[in-house]
Amino acid sequence: MILFRVLLYLASFFVIWYCSGIIIRSVENLAQRLKISPFAMSFFVLGILTSVPEFSIGVNSIINDTPDIFVGNLLGASLIIFIFIIPLLAVFGGGVKLVHQLSENNLIFSLLVVAAPVFLIADNVLTRTEGVFLILIYFILFYFIEKRHGLTTIIQKEEKMIFSKHFFEDIVELLLASTIIFLASRHIVTETEYFSSLFNVSQFLISIVILSIGTNLPEISLTLKAIVNKKSEVALGDYLGSASANSLLFGLFTLFNGKRVNISVYSFRILFLTLFGLGVFYIFSRSKNNISKHEGKILLLIYILFIVLQVLFP
């Protein structure tokens, strides 16, 4: 019975991965028809859409009154992008070139937005005021990047192009895939509670170690595809946008929760390793706008250290 529940648990992540791919393809088609600029598509649209699994997990964790799950998932999901997913491509792809159009100031600001939740929750509490702050800094980031790049290109929209058959097909696919992700995420949250009780492990630990990998399957699959196709370029905007959107979700879920979020198992080593990992990533990425194979190994070792410490000292 337990084995069956484990397999069903893992199958739910596969469903999320498959449906996330459908959502991304559908919105890419919609964005092309609406002529959204490539950079806005990369940073904001895909950034938010690749966070759909995190959003669904968060909503269901609030419904089940288990905020530890959304906190652990979002903290791990933001960190895993920079010290696991991109380094994985660097190690197995012989290095990776980071392609982006961000100024140095906007890149630093983006990483600070990503790191903001670990600062605010350092006292083991996340208040609604801090939730509003996280939402605010995301939209400040949006303003500065949009001001520099422009969210949309200037076009004349043709009604027949927008209201075509394919347009409605994309909308239907988007809605159906989102609904399936929500239902799969509800199962994942329920089973996380079950396994937490069964193995006497905190929901926060399961979320930061396991759920964070599962909800990043869309990004991981893109990385594996790049390795197979021997493409050594990464659109950094996709990953920065996804991690920044997690901070936005942090703020929204804190407000939706309706009360302060208390995390008893959070420790300063999470704060230290997150800041250390992001700092090392920034230094490596700014040296030559790439991550070498050797640098990728260092970042992966930081992630392994992070996981080992969470498991051994929960």
- Where exactly are the structural domains of the chain? 2-151+160-312
The token pair at 55 is: 């959003």
Nearest to 240 by CA among 106, 53, 58: 106
Q: Give the side-chain half-sphere CA count within 13 A for 49.
A: 26
pLDDT at residue 207 in the model: 92
pLDDT at residue 69 in the model: 93
pLDDT at residue 35 in the model: 67
pLDDT at residue 37 in the model: 62
CA 111 remoteness from chain centre: 13
pLDDT at residue 158 in the model: 43
Strand ranges across the sheet with 96-99: 233-235, 96-99, 290-291
pLDDT at residue 232 in the model: 65
Cβ partners under 8 Å of residue 161, min gap 6: 33, 167
pLDDT at residue 145 in the model: 78
Does residue 13 contact residue 188 with C-beta atoms inside 8 Å?
A: yes
Alpha carbon distance 68, 279 (integer Å): 26
Residues 74-107: tens digit of each pLDDT: 999 989 999 998 898 889 888 888 776 677 888 8
CATH 3.40.50.10140 for domain 2-151+160-312, yes or no, is no
pLDDT at residue 38 in the model: 60
Residues of the chain with pLDDT under 70: 30-31, 34-42, 100-101, 148-165, 231-235
H-type alpha helices, the chain: 2-34, 38-40, 46-49, 52-63, 67-80, 86-92, 104-120, 128-149, 159-162, 165-198, 203-206, 212-214, 217-228, 236-257, 268-288, 293-312
